[in-house]
Amino acid sequence: MQDSPEAALQRVVQFFEHLQASDVAHMASIYTHDAQFKDPFNEVQGLPAIEGIFAHMFEALDAPRFVITQQVQQGAQCFVTWDFLFAMPRLHNGATQTIHGATHFVLREEAGAWRVAVHRDYWDAAEELYEKLPVVGSLMRWLKKRANS
């Protein structure tokens, strides 16, 4: 059976929707060895660095999980929207928080299988995270109000 970019995207979606800490060791099944990853806090290249980002996510957050809400694909170019749910004991008494974002994936065939070569996350760190923090949040909301007036 021949692999395809469409099948690869479905594997990626399934992987992230069911991601557990133990799955970080299996990221080679969806990423190329030299994959690039970028989000508002990180910019790395290579599978070990990407694994490190997700391992840290499981260490720093309680019950992190992704819910994929939409997918668009044109060949090796893929775009998915998602909700990232997590909790932090010191943030809003451990209540579940949600970050809304999107990811652009570029797939590449490597050793007969299509995998993610580029993973670029887009989300507004100010609105989705900083505004929710106790001290920084009030400053961010004030700045936003000033900019909009």
Domains along the chain with CATH numbers: 5-123 (3.10.450.50)
Full pLDDT tens readout for the chain, 149 residues: 689 999 999 999 999 999 999 999 999 999 999 999 999 999 999 999 999 999 999 999 999 999 999 999 999 999 999 999 999 877 667 789 899 999 999 999 998 999 999 999 999 876 656 556 655 555 555 555 666 77
The confidence score (pLDDT) of residue 137 equals 55
Instruction: Give the pLDDT score at 146.
Output: 62
For residue 5, CA distances in Å to 14, 34, 107, 111, 117 come to 14, 18, 7, 14, 12
Give the pLDDT of residue 145: 65
47 contacts 31 by C-beta, under 8 angstroms: yes
**CA dist list (Å): 47 to 87, 121, 123:** 26, 16, 22
Give how far Cα 115 sits from Cα of 33, 105, 128, Å. 9, 9, 29
**Confidence (pLDDT) at 21:** 97
Nearest CA among 106, 102, 108, 97 for reference residue 132? 97
Instruction: Report the alpha-carbon angle 95-51-132, nearest 5.
Output: 25
Q: Secondary structure of 27-90 in the HEC alphabet?
A: HHHCEEEEEEEECCCCEEECHHHHHHHHHHHHHHCEEEEEEEEEEEEECCEEEEEEEEEEECCC
**Burial class for 71, CB neighbours closer than 10 Å (0-12, 13-18, 19+):** middle
CB-count burial class (<10 Å; 0-12, 13-18, 19+) for 48: exposed
